[in-house]
Structure 1
Amino acid sequence: MSEFRIPERHARCTLALHSEPGGGTYHRRWSGKFGDEVPVPAPFDFGLTTAELLRY
Structure 2
Amino acid sequence: MFLAMPFQNILVVMAEETWQTGESGVGILMAAGGIGGVIGALWIAKKGDNGGT
**Fold conserved (TM > 0.5)?**
no
Give the TM-score taking structure 2 as reference length. 0.25
Give the TM-score taking structure 1 as reference length. 0.24
- Greater share of helix residues, 1 or 2? 2
